[in-house]
Amino acid sequence: MNSTKIIKSLPYKRPFLFVDELTEISEKGVKGKYTYREDEFFYEGHFKNNPITPGVILTETMAQIGVVCLGVFLLEDQISSEEKKPQIALTSNEVDFFLPVLPNEKVTVISEKEYFRFNKLKCKVKMLNANDELVCRGTIAGMIIAK
């Protein structure tokens, strides 16, 4: 399954799709990118006159690229038919934050699979800014099934 098909299979759309491209994907992990556009809905109120990407959005971006895209890839055989779509539920996350992400910043998410058993996928995920500085990192897990 190629990266364009994986992104189209995701159960998200703008303004809640945080995947622009996948640059690497294998059974071991995934690498992808997203640019936070200055007109994103959350910048209007976070914070007044000082827009910063909320941590929950950074976590969601890492989950979409690092867990959901990888899960869709791993379930390719089950999702390949048009009538089956991935269903996702976040089960746990632990993320540490180090740097802010501002409007118009492009980030790279790198994920390494820890395990995938009984449709539960757990990954070590990190986010880097355009200067390859660590923005945040953690462990994210979710259940992924094709229905």
CATH of residue 66's domain is: 3.10.129.10
Contact (CB, 8 A) for 100 and 90: no
Is 25 buried (19+), middle (13-18) or exposed (0-12) by CB count in 10 A?
buried
What residue type is 46 in one-letter code?
H
Averaged pLDDT for residues 8-29: 95
Closest by CA to 70, choosing from 138, 128, 3, is 3
Q: What is the pLDDT of residues 55-88, one digit of tens each?
A: 999 999 999 999 999 999 998 877 665 566 778 8
What per-residue confidence (pLDDT) applies to 86? 76
Q: Which range in 5-9, 41-45, 100-104 is most confidently predicted, on average pLDDT?
A: 100-104
| pLDDT class of 2 with cuts at 50, 70, 90 | confident
Domain containing residue 130: 3-146
Just list the catalytic residues: 46
Instruction: Domain count for the chain, please give it.
Output: 1
What is the edge-to-edge ordering of all strands in the sheet holding 21-26?
Answer: 21-26, 29-35, 106-117, 120-128, 134-146, 86-97
**Could you read off the pLDDT of 104-119 as tens digits, one per residue?**
999 999 999 999 999 9
